[in-house]
A and B are shown apart, each in its own frame.
Chain A
Amino acid sequence: MKHTLAVLVENRPGVLTRIAGLFSRRGFNIDSLAVGRTENPSVSRMTIVVEGDDRIIEQVCKQLHKLIDVIKLNDITEEEYVDRELILIKVHAEPNNRTEIMQIVDIFRARIVDIGRNTLIIEATGDQGKINAIESALRPFGIREVVRTGKIAMVRGAKHKTETNGKTIV
């Protein structure tokens, strides 16, 4: 099963290497990893999607916890959360099928952000299901390039996930 981990880490050089290295060294599978600064510039937040059974996920969490650069870790899989991913798709577009592509873009509430002579770049955000759907809807036209950010997620409601004093014990 896929788990979504929200991980607060020190915003320092080498932290991503430590985390990526941990996953490869111990044979854990990262599905996606998205990282960026938080409201506190010395702290970054990673959203890691990882695949594994309960035992593996427990080990992943414990090993992550053990890293000194990991300030806080939450497995938010079972919680109510909002998740988003951003995708940029460069799709082949001839004048005769542009309208059709634009309709798809409309349906997915995506946007066209660049027009070339026979290409369009489409930007879409949404959960992974929607992103996968728009990608497959555009595939018949000929996808030239795709770039995806990986999932980011935030728990709904008042629960404040970014305080730095104290790890959650997993």
Chain B
Amino acid sequence: MSDAGKYRYNNSEVTGRGDLLKNQAASGEMLSGAEIMVRALKAEGVDTVFGYPGGAVLALYDELYKSDIRHILTRHEQGAVHAADGYARATGRPGVVIATSGPGATNLVTGIANAHMDSVPIICITGQVSLDMVGRDSFQEADITGITIPITKYSYLIKDPCKVASTVREAFYIATTGRPGPVLIDFPKDMMVKKAEFRYPPELDLPGYRFRTRPNREMIREAARLLAESTRPVIVAGGGVAQAGAQRELLNLAERSGIPVATTMMGKGTIPEDHHLCLGMLGMHGTAYANFAVSSCDLLMALGARFDDRVTARVDTFAPRARIIHVDIDPAELGKIKSADISIAGDLRRVLMDLLAEFQPADYSAWRERVYRWREENPLAYDQNGSSLKPQYVIQRISDILAGDAIVTTDVGQHQMWAAQYVKRNKPRTFITSGGLGTMGFGLPAAMGVQVGCPDALVFCITGDGSIQMNSQELATVAHYRLPVKIAIINNGYLGMVRQWQELFFGARYAHSDISGGPDFVKLGDAYGIKAMRVTDRDGVEPALVEALGHQGPVMIDFVVEREENVFPMVPAGGSLNKMLGR
């Protein structure tokens, strides 16, 4: 039933990195653990790592210094782990982050949890005190493998230099296959110095690691039958479509069947957003028409989506009249939140290819008409009157001006939701945002990682005045490496989403959400040597964006916007998806 034996390592599987392996260590040289680590990283195709040195990783950094691996030094370990995350999301290759023991390692925790929630393959290498010091509350000791158990796909503590190579191999294999996720390697400093024989690639020994890629045929046929029987089907495309690289198959299925597609925030761009079948994002701040379509459909096909509460709102009233087909690479997601009529575990590309082969065209035109009417009657909208600069307008203009290949990162809060609503993406991996964990402070370091991974791409970070201050130290990294990221701060002087909830649900008592009064972001940019501008009115938006895009290096624009604008539509937490405020 499953892909038995697949996990067994086979030399031929790594062609492409093979050339790196040929001229070394066929016989097995004696190398230090740190040298083995660096060689193994290179053998895994790593050319860039993000990190921050410290006492317990000095030996490893010494080997990095001698190698040709590019190291991006951030100003905080959290910046490094988010950068590795952004790198992985944009390129599809695993991101690597290195931090020292103790506080270095614990500073990664938020970033690891963030990658875990959004299934991003990152490898975290943390220094650790010497093995004989472990467990004695030594200086800069933290039980990072213990701390990260719930937020990693797997973790290792290296206790033998002979295990370094196999640990690296397994870590990359686990992080990048099946449902991707973060893997942590805790590397005690004495293990970095001790010598062992280096052979690569080592045998994989993972009898308990298995993932299913080939879907069950029977289930595919059943799914095709349900599709044929339905009259009001909707596809919900999630981040798994991007992970599987199944955007072509998705588009193919949508076009051949004429089924409208709503996406989750993580699924943005998996179907071109200028396509007539694309309904945009569903959920708490989704489009009214996507939410209506899902609420009225008789068949919901969830592809690589996990029924997050921000998507479903109240689960028992989510898609109440629909039969559900749920496809995911992770069997544990099937039936976790919403029981499905057909559950298919497998690789989405294969599932969709198989489904396309079984699928019988049906006529959904009446349903489509209805959905399109909802779209015409309930477009995304905001009040354009008044003299103040509207945040939605700024974000719309950013969307308009970006070339097709631009990659957008966001932080978390109101600006993120407006970006999800108004920034149009036509390709996967071009809308990089913290979905599951909702990590303020993600946007800027993620943009750095994206830019490092995609040096030729236009990288645009949309952030808020609250979010950017959670990792603004990374402006130094941006300046240091002259990473030409463009940063748009949607500055309303509030923790805007907190304020919105306080306005709507807590009697407008703005408890500690007013952050007006600084800093002066233009001066802040100047301080770091980053070109910075301020825009306070509509007319200034376009020229500032044009100037930013024309500038070679990094640019930061402080958009001072209407302070008390709200994100609408909005489904209040715990409400039903079709009961939206501000529609």
Q: Which residues of A contact B (CB under 8 A)?
A: 9-10, 13-14, 17-18, 21, 25, 55, 58-59, 62-63, 65-72, 164-167, 169
Known contacts being A68-B154, A166-B4, is A14 close to B149, with CB within 8 Å?
A: yes
With the chains together, A129 CA to B146 CA distance in Å? 37
With the chains together, A169 CA to B334 CA distance in Å? 14
Closest 10 A-B residue pairs measured CB to CB?
A62-B332, A71-B208, A68-B209, A68-B154, A66-B332, A71-B207, A70-B208, A68-B208, A164-B207, A169-B1
A59–B146 touching, CB < 8 Å = no
Known contacts being A10-B208, A67-B208, is A59 close to B335, with CB within 8 Å?
A: yes
Interface of B is mostly: loop
Contacts of A72 in B (CB 8 A): 208
Interchain residue pairs with CB less than 8 A apart (21): A13-B157, A14-B145, A14-B146, A14-B157, A17-B149, A18-B149, A25-B150, A59-B336, A62-B332, A62-B336, A65-B331, A67-B208, A68-B154, A68-B209, A71-B208, A72-B208, A165-B4, A167-B2, A167-B208, A167-B210, A169-B2
- Give the number of residues in B that approach A within 8 Å (Cβ atoms): 23
Task: Indicate if B573 sits at the interface (CB-CB under 8 A).
Answer: no
Closest B residue to A58 by CB, please name it.
Answer: B335
Within residues 1 to 16 of chain B, which ones have a CB less than 8 A from any CB in chain A?
1-2, 4
A62–B331 touching, CB < 8 Å = yes
Closest B residue to A20 by CB, please name it.
Answer: B149
Residue in A63, A167, A169 whose CB lies within 8 Å of B332: A63
Smallest CB–CB gap between B210 and chain A, Å? 6
Closest B residue to A9 by CB, please name it.
Answer: B208
Contacts of B330 in A (CB 8 A): 66
Task: Indicate if B206 sits at the interface (CB-CB under 8 A).
Answer: yes
Task: Indicate if B339 sits at the interface (CB-CB under 8 A).
Answer: yes
Extra pairs beyond A25-B150, A65-B331 (20, CB < 8 Å): A9-B208, A10-B207, A14-B146, A17-B146, A55-B335, A59-B336, A62-B334, A62-B336, A65-B332, A66-B330, A66-B331, A66-B332, A68-B153, A71-B208, A72-B208, A165-B4, A165-B207, A166-B4, A167-B210, A169-B1
Closest A residue to B336 by CB, please name it.
Answer: A59
Task: Indicate if B174 sits at the interface (CB-CB under 8 A).
Answer: yes
With the chains together, A9 CA to B332 CA distance in Å? 18
With the chains together, A68 CA to B209 CA distance in Å? 5
Contacts of B1 in A (CB 8 A): 169
A68–B146 touching, CB < 8 Å = no
Contacts of A166 in B (CB 8 A): 2, 4
Contacts of A62 in B (CB 8 A): 331-332, 334-336
With the chains together, A13 CA to B143 CA distance in Å? 13
Closest A residue to B333 by CB, please name it.
Answer: A62
